[in-house]
Chains A and B, each alone.
Chain A
């Protein structure tokens, strides 16, 4: 009889320990899930930030493209885009060879040029949109356009759409 009672007592003890362990692991799992959720939201924020940075990076990449920069005897004019080079680029970049080459540089984006002052046309410099994108932040970058034929500067905007 006493043995039975002892056995029951130790079983209860074992049960208690198992319950403690169970609660401990539950708490651990809840903590882990909480931590993972925080991490997930941080990663999501980082991704959004990275896409925004990518747009600025792209604008910077374009501004240093020799096929877009204003030059005079190979001397580059700082912060200046050659209007006719950009129009020519919009034609060339649309060819299969151009699309193939520029997709390595610009990826899945659309880059458009708007001539703001004096009011002029708009040209799609590069377009490679993603099929089912979740969001497409648009970044506008003001630029100086140089018309080499009349030696005048215009005001334009580069519109960079990055597809997420």
Chain B
């Protein structure tokens, strides 16, 4: 053996070298496979836990939304982990997890971001309670109310103090002279409460990197009109979509909190569909109790049997059968009349010791 090693030293050395090289290649391949396997496992686990966290967060937010909806008239500031919630008319999304909003009507900007969300709940009464509107925003959105009128000041005061709305309403002259400055907010929403609305508004300088949207509130005609930037980097806000009429202030607040006119239209359409359904339930209920011995032939029966106000309300809000949202001017007029009339009927029923309509 010794003899042979000395006889063919080069050949044996080469073989050992080859063997050693082969070993290293094998170790490298095996190592890479094991490493790859674990990297794959970690990546999968990471994706899964991210999805799980998003799901958990969306579930928790669902609970928050249910709770917020129940406590009408309240403003809540809810601390959350750093997250971004995308809202559409029917759903909301946190990362890959989505959740249906169901019967809840939530007016919110397209993206609610940050470590805090502010919710505000108000009942929508037409004249009976139809649903609760939930308004949602975050401190990252600044609301700048522009207007000199009493209506502007009143509107500014009616908005919850917990939202990022500045110290006071800004006069239109101050807005035009550029006194409104960028304060480092990610989103800014200008609310113009003016007597004679314009088709476009020039923004003060310094808002190039801020995502700006706007809204015109015409308190005389009770109409809202959404505004968007004319183009990327443009300093002009131009109208977007049609003007929407509102009968109740709750609907106008909805336009303030929503930044997209299509989403607003969809939400209001859902609200009016619900109104139609609730009116049908009331109409049916009154027809059920009208022939009961307690009311038959009494003065109460006339209010209950085939109640024309409710019938009119059902016809005016029959979006599914007749028209899409926005409703026609005559429908809005009709709803306004019915509201007054139903209130009167309810008062008269109370005076006559009859069961109330609502």
B275-304 residues at the A interface, CB under 8 angstroms: 276-278, 280-285, 288-289, 292, 294-295
Q: Which residues of B contact A92 (CB under 8 A)?
A: 277, 280-281, 284
Q: Are B292 and A149 in contact (CB under 8 A)?
A: yes
Let me know if A33 is at the binding interface, CB within 8 A.
no
Q: Which residues of B contact A21 (CB under 8 A)?
A: 30
Let me know if B307 is at the binding interface, CB within 8 A.
no
Q: Are B350 and A3 in contact (CB under 8 A)?
A: no
Let me know if A79 is at the binding interface, CB within 8 A.
no
**Which of under 10, 10 to 19, 20 to 34, or 35 or more describes the interface residues of B?**
35 or more
**Assuming A74-B125, A74-B129, is B37 touching A28 (CB within 8 A)?**
yes
Q: Which residues of B contact A150 (CB under 8 A)?
A: 294
Distance between Cα atoms of A44 and B4 in the complex (Å): 70
Selected from B129, B292, B350, the residue in CB contact (under 8 A) with A66 is B129
Q: Are A84 and B128 in contact (CB under 8 A)?
A: no
Which of B289, B292, B350 has the most chain A CB within a 10 Å cutoff?
B289
Distance between Cα atoms of A124 and B30 in the complex (Å): 65
Selected from A14, A64, A72, the residue in CB contact (under 8 A) with B69 is A64
- Chain A, Cβ-Cβ closest to B300: A149
- Chain B, Cβ-Cβ closest to A14: B26
Interface size on A, residues (CB 8 A): 39
Let me know if A60 is at the binding interface, CB within 8 A.
yes
Distance in angstroms from A24 CB to nearest chain B CB is 8
Q: A73-B356, A84-B288, A87-B284 are in contact. List 16 more A-B contacts (CB 8 A).
A: A2-B4, A6-B15, A7-B15, A17-B26, A28-B37, A61-B103, A64-B70, A66-B130, A67-B281, A67-B282, A73-B350, A84-B289, A88-B281, A88-B282, A89-B284, A92-B284
The interface of chain A, by Cβ under 8 A from chain B, is 2-3, 6-7, 10, 14, 17, 21, 28, 57, 60-61, 64-67, 69, 71-74, 76, 82, 84-85, 87-89, 91-92, 97-98, 100-101, 104-105, 148-150
Complex A-B: 14 CB contacts under 8 Å? A3-B15, A10-B19, A17-B30, A67-B277, A67-B282, A71-B358, A72-B356, A74-B128, A88-B282, A88-B284, A91-B284, A92-B284, A97-B277, A97-B320
